[in-house]
Amino acid sequence: DKGAYPYYMIKEIDEQPAVIRRLIQTYKNDQGQFEVPADLITAMQQASNLHIVACGTSAHAGWVGKTLFESMVGIPTMVHTASEFAYHQPLLGDKPFFIFLTQSGETADSRQALVKVNEKGYPSLTITNVKGSTLSREAGYTLLLHAGPEIAVASTKAYTAQITVMAILADVLSNHDYGFDMGHELSIIATAMESILSEKDTIKAWVDANLMATRNAFYIGRHLDYYVSMEAALKLKEISYVQTEAFASGELKHGTIALVESGTPVIAVVSDPTTASHTRGNVEEVKARGANAMVIATQDLAKEGDQFVVPSIQAELSPLATVVVTQLIAYYTALGRGLDVDKPRNLAKSVTVE
Ligand code: F6R
């Protein structure tokens, strides 16, 4: 039931701080430390490589997970698009461990990949929102997203819940030893999300002024800001039908900047201190070609004139906050264009065909 909300999507966007808090509670033990089943941890610790397999938004969460597993746990991690992986596997390393990310647990492309993984006898974990779903039953282990039903076709709270569960898993795998307190940082993020959600009017006004008439748009960023851009672009294109692409901002000059015309909206995500000045340089380049450049920045990196400032959070987890701004951008663009936000054309919530 969507209660007083006009659409499920905006209700689900709003639920995200509560989902993060529920995950913190659910996965903490009596000593206040994150815990997951010990046999899962043993199986993962024996692995030489992690392979994350998923589709769409879940695959975009996978890219953030890759960064968490590599930077916090030090285990090489690859991300695979499920529909590509099922029939053409790359070299997997001597002891691969598979993580299937799937909100529904029913996605046929992901399931086909799991069938192949099971045929080869490799260990696997499904991270899903649906207890008892097909991928949960067929994988060796399951961790649940506890996000509550996600009804809108465009996935929002499942993305942030997937990243949160992978952050918790990385915390346990690293023996809680990598330089910050995950539980504390995640609760700061829940609060940061609330502060972003309290500024819906600002985002709506920004969208109304810049995205109502455009036929195309671009998101740019580097590293985690690029991974968020991929998700931001998918969200905007799938519900507003604005052709939106994400670019690693350093790649612009290698071809794509040719697409930038006078007035083209280019939204840059700037949350990474290591690359902020480079992305700012790219913003100047697109502006020089006439782009309508806009910036979403974290507080510590914000500059006068940025369109939206997100509270500063732990850099490794920045997608959990920046993505919320881009979910709202997609929502208000579709709403402003009079579209059915929850049921975009040509799409189904759960894709059970390959
Ligand atoms: C986009 C979206 C899809 C799904 C994809 C995978 O908003 O919802 O891209 O993320 O179809 O679905 P699950 O996670 O159920 O396997």
pLDDT at residue 332 in the model = 98
Task: Establish whether 343 is a catalytic residue.
Answer: no
Which pLDDT band holds residue 192 (cuts at 50, 70, 90)?
Answer: very high
Which ligand 1 atom minimizes the distance to the CA of 56?
9
Q: How many angstroms from the chain centroid is the CA of residue 240?
A: 19
Residues 267/217, Cβ–Cβ less than 8 Å: yes
Residue 293 has what DSSP assignment? E
The span from the CA of 239 to the CA of 334, in Å, is 6
- What is the 122 CA–ligand 1 centroid distance (Å)? 24
pLDDT at residue 205 in the model = 97
Protein residues with CB under 6 Å of any ligand 1 atom: 55-58, 102-104, 107, 110, 154-155, 234, 238, 350-351
Residue 176 CB neighbours (<10 A): 14
- What is the 6 CA–ligand 1 centroid distance (Å)? 22
The span from the CA of 125 to the CA of 278, in Å, is 37
- What is the 78 CA–ligand 1 centroid distance (Å)? 19
Q: How many angstroms from the chain centroid is the CA of residue 15?
A: 16
Q: For the whole model, what pTM was predicted?
A: 0.98
Average pLDDT over residues 183-212: 98
ipTM value for the complex? 0.99
pLDDT at residue 170 in the model = 98
- Ligand 1 mutation target, pool 144, 163, 351, 352, most atoms within 8 A of CB: 351
**Taking 90 as the threshold, does the pLDDT of residue 199 lie above it?**
yes
Structure tokens at 320: 């959990």
Q: Is the dihedral of CA 14, 299, 220, 70 positive or negative?
A: negative
**How many helices (DSSP H) and strands (DSSP E) are in the chain?**
13, 10
Each residue of 320-351: pLDDT tens digit? 999 999 999 999 999 999 999 999 988 888 88
Residues 260/289, Cβ–Cβ less than 8 Å: yes
Residue located via tokens 């001597």: 94
Each residue of 11-61: pLDDT tens digit? 999 999 999 999 999 999 999 999 999 999 999 999 999 999 999 999 999
Measure the CA dihedral 282/288/292/293, to 10°. Answer: 20
pLDDT at residue 28 in the model = 98
- Ligand 1 mutation target, pool 9, 104, 155, 244, most atoms within 8 A of CB: 155
Backbone angles phi, psi at 133, to 5 degrees: -70, 165
Nearest CA to ligand 1 atom 16: 102
Average pLDDT over residues 184-189: 98
